[in-house]
A = this chain, B = another copy of it.
Amino acid sequence: MTVTIRDVSKKSGYSVATVSRVINDSDLVTEETKKKVGQVIEELGFVPNNTARGLSTRKSFAIGMIVPNISNPFFGELIKGAEEAAGEKGFNIIILNSSYNNEKTIKDIMILKSRNVDGIIMSSADFDESIYNTLVENNIPFVLTGPVSSNHEINYVSIDNLEGAKKATEHLVKLGHKRIGYMAGDYASYLNKLRLQGYSETLKANNIKTDENLIFQENVEKNIIKLINMKPSERPTAIFTFNDYMALEYMEKLEEKGIKIPEDIAVVGFDNIKMASYYSIGLTTVDNRQEEFGRKSFELLLNIIKDKNEETHQIITKPKLIIRKTCGAKSKN
């Protein structure tokens, strides 16, 4: 049915080994035979079977990618960057949705192993010991995206979250705010810890003493009620929120209550999701370019696969503040 390397061998008069060498552009064959064999390949429309190739080389030219939620454009962009970089090197991406579930993540890793992927790009909200062990025991090259709290030496690429939080908070300080709040959601991620830390350190560096009443770490509902019930004189005049998604929620609720942004409360987010730039929202935020991270993740992974050397790499990019309207500073748009 399908044309195989032996068909090409027969028709061209060369052995399968030589044909294989031609396919792989080995320098063991003459230019002339390359041409002749190439001709036959063309004629027969031969396409090498990747599965067979993978079986003998134990490589698949495929990498796995496990993300918490494909439909979230934040991860969509990550995937896009990785897919593009992979394609350029002849790799393909097998995508798996972990749904923020670590048990599923481990199953996914095993699935990817059975598919002989050459490596995995992981984007886990909660990279724990069990995931780490699974990857290491199965000897699978991997890189993480996002900040990593693990005390193992791990390859990852991430934005500098501490620095980003500092820039965001500092911007509010420079605008003259004294009562600056930090608003997060209810889950105690490492990411949250870093961003809170950046916030706190910035206040300290500017001789503003931290006020526990201005740090909101319960769920969004409770936080908003607490905020709304504060006397205007006690209320923060500016808030740095954990991420854009939450910032949008807070903003919606605040405006419902007649609290104006940025006049009454200035807002700065984190991530620069597409919506932040959109439709009269104009959220000031910290740019967190996922597409670029996707690309870098793949490139790092490829290095690891090739080199197999022991040293780990951490690629940490510098964050950039995007000033729009919600912080009250003059927009640069």
A79 proximal to B (CB < 8 A): yes
Contacting residues, chain B, for A93 (C-beta < 8 A): 94-95
With A69-B80, A92-B94, A94-B92 known to touch, is A278 a contact of B49 (CB < 8 Å)? no
Taking a contact as CB atoms under 8 Å apart, the answer to whether B62 and A94 are in contact is yes
Contacting residues, chain B, for A80 (C-beta < 8 A): 69-71, 97
Contacting residues, chain B, for A251 (C-beta < 8 A): 279
Closest chain B CB from A302 CB (angstroms): 18
In the complex, what distance in Å separates the CA atom of A248 from the CA atom of B275? 11
Assembly of this chain: how many copies?
Answer: 2
Taking a contact as CB atoms under 8 Å apart, the answer to whether A114 and B49 are in contact is yes
With A50-B116, A51-B51, A83-B97 known to touch, is A71 a contact of B71 (CB < 8 Å)? no
Kindly specify which of A52-60, A157-165, A195-203, A207-215 makes contact with the partner chain: A52-60
Partner of A73, one of B55, B62, B72, B280: B72
Closest chain B CB from A247 CB (angstroms): 10
Contacting residues, chain B, for A230 (C-beta < 8 A): none
In the complex, what distance in Å separates the CA atom of A128 from the CA atom of B60? 31
Within 8 A of B (CB), among A37-95: 47-52, 54-55, 60, 62, 69-73, 75-77, 79-80, 83-84, 87, 92-95
With A47-B113, A52-B55 known to touch, is A83 a contact of B62 (CB < 8 Å)? no
Interface size on A, residues (CB 8 A): 47
Closest chain B CB from A288 CB (angstroms): 14
Taking a contact as CB atoms under 8 Å apart, the answer to whether B84 and A97 are in contact is yes
A96 proximal to B (CB < 8 A): yes
Which of A55, A76, A79, A84 has the most chain B CB within a 10 Å cutoff?
A76
In the complex, what distance in Å separates the CA atom of A249 from the CA atom of B54? 48
A111 proximal to B (CB < 8 A): yes
Shortest Cβ distance from A48 into B: residue:
B114
Within 8 A of B (CB), among A214-257: 248-249, 251-252, 255-256
A281 proximal to B (CB < 8 A): yes
Partner of A114, one of B47, B69, B95: B47
Closest chain B CB from A131 CB (angstroms): 17
Contacting residues, chain B, for A55 (C-beta < 8 A): 49, 51-52, 55
Partner of A70, one of B76, B114, B275: B76
In the complex, what distance in Å separates the CA atom of A194 from the CA atom of B146? 43
Taking a contact as CB atoms under 8 Å apart, the answer to whether A71 and B291 are in contact is yes
A320 proximal to B (CB < 8 A): no
**A residues with CB within 8 A of B:** 47-52, 54-55, 60, 62, 69-73, 75-77, 79-80, 83-84, 87, 92-97, 110-111, 113-116, 248-249, 251-252, 255-256, 275, 278-281, 291
> Given known contacts A52-B55, A252-B279, what 14 new A-B pairs fall within 8 Å (CB)?
A47-B110, A49-B116, A50-B115, A55-B55, A62-B115, A70-B76, A76-B76, A79-B95, A84-B97, A92-B111, A249-B279, A252-B278, A256-B280, A279-B281
